[in-house]
Amino acid sequence: MSTHTKVQSLIISKLSQLLELDPESIAPSESVFALGLDSSGALSLIGHLEDTLDITLDPAMMWDFPHIADLAEQVSRGGQP
């Protein structure tokens, strides 16, 4: 499993918890905000990724890369564009 795929799975898992959705119903092409994530949830997701992956991320990346696949790609690069 690639780093991108692992990060994408982490994002989907956390989103399913935050939004009380079935993880199977969340597509990587979806926007986290279209799913219903608010700014508080976005910060929670970034914090979870930082803690789990032991990296520092810019919270603004949630707005720069709102689609799950794009966000996973950026996070898998350590948050660097």
pLDDT tens, residue by residue, 10-52: 999 999 999 999 999 999 999 999 999 999 999 999 999 999 9
Distance CA 12, CA 18 (A): 10
Judged against a pLDDT cut of 80, whether residue 1 lies above it is answered with no
Residue 80 confidence (pLDDT): 67
Q: What pTM, to 2 d.p., does this model score?
A: 0.92
Question: CA-CA distances (angstroms) from residue 79 to 20, 22, 52?
Answer: 26, 27, 14
**Closest alpha carbon to 45 in 34, 78, 53, 5:** 53
CB 27 within 8 A of CB 68: yes
Domain boundaries, the chain: 3-76
pLDDT tens, residue by residue, 53-79: 999 999 999 999 999 999 999 999 887
Cα 70-72-76 angle, rounded to 5 deg: 120
Residue scoring higher pLDDT (81 or 78): 78
CATH of 3-76, one of 1.10.1200.10, 2.120.10.30, 3.40.50.12280, 3.40.30.10: 1.10.1200.10
